């Protein structure tokens, strides 16, 4: 879909813009990642609100993660998450073997050191989406060979299900 | 497995929301980073330029438009094909002078501001949609259409349904 091109280009410009105006160094790199992640967070919150306006209530945490992996991921990245693993104690690993934001970059190990910059926004996106569904989390990403990547979500605290609110 | 209790959300609309919301988050971040409106506007224009130089390739590949022979043709294509393709709207085009090298694109319905209530206080000269100016500028430069200046005016105070006017001066 044509819209996708616009978003991909905007995302790439955002990443290069954030890094261009920053200096070199570990601390600066961390700040840039945080900036991108925070932007993703805002967007994730807004998106999930629009998305779940008319959907039925989620039964449990796993239901929410499945929603993220199927419907959410398909709408945003045109495909589902390929693999979801969990330890049933609040840690979820979402694996995407052909992540849309990395396919144009390389197929393999080239530019691996830059991959994290292009994943920060999406980590925020997931964290924002989960946050508005009652799950406070920490989301990180890991790439070993592009364009495959893994997003790890760790729940912080307990899930506040609507049923628990009186 | 079908879920009869779920009503299917509009996927296409939400996909467009992704761009609009991301843009909003970007502008909000820029307002935090830069105090002066001119700096934010300049940054958005520069970003748009970078996008435009690449977007034009995508556009030409998708749209199969032929060679244009006049500036008014170019402006029509931008309004009727490009804007429609990427933002789902068709701005109207007016020509501003008799030598036919100055045009205005008027957006009655601007999807970029769908979730914007009003500009933050003290940001009255912020050109919220300046990215669009940069995109057009970048795209035109890549197709070797020299553009002298390009600016954007937004009339109608608050951002709720602003009336955006972009003026392109061709050289």
For the ranges B53-57, B59-63, B148-152, the lowest mean pLDDT is seen at B148-152
pLDDT for B102: 78
Residue B165 has pLDDT above 60, yes or no: no
Residue B5 has pLDDT above 50, yes or no: no
Contact B47 A75 (CB under 8 A): no
The partner residue sitting opposite A13, judged by closest CB among B33, B47, B85, is B47
pLDDT band at B147; cut points 50, 70, 90: low
Q: What is the pTM of this model?
A: 0.85
Round to the nearest angstrom and report the end-to-end CA distance of chain B: 59
Residue A125 has pLDDT above 60, yes or no: yes
Residues of B with CB under 8 A from a CB of A: 3, 5-7, 9, 11-19, 21-26, 28-29, 33, 43, 47, 50-51, 54-55, 58, 62, 85-87, 115, 131
The partner residue sitting opposite B62, judged by closest CB among A2, A13, A46, is A2
Residue B4 has pLDDT above 60, yes or no: no
Contact A42 B15 (CB under 8 A): no
* A 25-84 residues with CB < 8 A to B: 35, 38-40, 42-43, 46-47, 50-56, 71, 74-76
pLDDT for B100: 72
Contact A43 B7 (CB under 8 A): no
Residue A130 has pLDDT above 60, yes or no: yes
The reply to whether omega before A147 is within 30° of 0 (cis) is yes
Q: Long-range CB contacts (< 8 A, 24+ apart) of A26-33?
A: A32/A117, A32/A120, A33/A116, A33/A117, A33/A120
Mean pLDDT of B9-13: 63
Q: Residues of B with CB below 8 A from A14's CB?
A: 22, 26, 47
**Which of B122 and B147 is assigned the larger pLDDT?**
B122
| Chosen from A13, A32, A48, A51 to mutate, greatest number of chain B CBs within 10 A | A13
pLDDT for B153: 47
pLDDT band at B30; cut points 50, 70, 90: very high
**Mean pLDDT of the residues in chain A:** 89
| Nearest to B134, CA basis, from B17, B47, B14 | B47
pLDDT for B25: 94
Tell me how far apart the alpha carbons of residues A82 and A67 are, in angstroms, rounded to a whole number.
13
- What CATH code is assigned to B16-170? 3.30.1380.20
Mean pLDDT of B156-169: 46
Domain boundaries, chain B: 16-170
As a whole-number percent, the residues of chain B with pLDDT over 70 amount to 77
- Give burial (CB, 10 Å; 0-12/13-18/19+) of A111: middle
Maximum mean pLDDT: which of A147-156, B14-23, B65-74: A147-156
Contact A7 B22 (CB under 8 A): yes
The partner residue sitting opposite B9, judged by closest CB among A1, A11, A51, is A51
| Chosen from B3, B19, B30 to mutate, greatest number of chain A CBs within 10 A | B19
DSSP line for B58-80: HHHHHH------SHHHHHHHIII
Q: Residues of A with CB below 8 A from B23's CB?
A: 10
Q: Residues of A with CB below 8 A from B55's CB?
A: 5-6, 9
For the ranges A23-27, A33-37, B26-30, the lowest mean pLDDT is seen at A23-27
pLDDT band at A153; cut points 50, 70, 90: very high
pLDDT band at B17; cut points 50, 70, 90: confident
Residue B11 has pLDDT above 80, yes or no: no
State how far residue A2 is from chain B, nearest Cα, in angstroms: 6
State how far residue A124 is from chain B, nearest Cα, in angstroms: 12
Residue A98 has pLDDT above 50, yes or no: yes
User: By the 8 A CB rule, do B77 and B146 touch?
Assistant: no
């Amino acid at each position: 879909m044509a819209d996708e091109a616009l978003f991909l280009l905007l995302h790439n410009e955002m990443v290069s813009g954030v890094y261009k105006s920053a200096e070199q160094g570990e601390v600066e790199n961390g700040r840039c990642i945080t900036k991108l992640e925070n932007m993703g967070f805002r967007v994730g919150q807004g998106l999930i609100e629009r998305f779940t306006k008319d959907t039925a209530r989620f039964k449990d945490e796993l239901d929410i993660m499945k929603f993220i992996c199927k419907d959410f991921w398909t709408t945003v990245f045109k495909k589902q998450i390929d693999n979801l693993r969990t330890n049933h104690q609040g840690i979820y690993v979402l694996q995407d073997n052909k992540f849309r934001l990395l396919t144009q970059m390389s197929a393999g190990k080239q530019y691996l050191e830059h991959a994290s910059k292009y994943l920060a926004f999406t980590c925020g996106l997931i964290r924002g989406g989960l946050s508005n569904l009652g799950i406070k989390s920490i989301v990180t990403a890991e790439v070993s060979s592009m364009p495959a990547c893994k997003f790890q979500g760790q729940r912080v605290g307990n899930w506040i299900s609507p049923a628990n609110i009186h | 497995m079908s879920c009869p209790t779920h009503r299917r959300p509009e996927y296409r609309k939400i996909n467009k929301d992704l761009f609009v919301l991301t843009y909003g988050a970007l502008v909000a971040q820029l307002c935090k980073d830069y105090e002066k409106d001119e700096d934010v506007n300049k940054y958005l224009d520069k970003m748009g330029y970078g996008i435009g130089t690449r977007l034009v390739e995508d556009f030409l590949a998708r749209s199969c438009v032929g060679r244009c022979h006049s500036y008014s043709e170019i402006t029509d294509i931008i309004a009727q094909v490009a804007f429609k393709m990427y933002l789902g709207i068709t701005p109207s085009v007016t020509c501003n002078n008799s030598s036919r090298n100055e045009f205005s694109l008027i957006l009655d319905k601007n999807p970029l501001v769908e979730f914007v209530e009003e500009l933050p206080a003290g940001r009255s000269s912020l050109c919220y949609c300046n990215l669009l100016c940069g995109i057009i500028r970048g795209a035109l430069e890549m197709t070797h259409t020299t553009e002298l200046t390009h600016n954007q005016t937004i009339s109608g105070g608050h951002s709720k349904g602003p009336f955006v006017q972009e003026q392109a001066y061709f050289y």
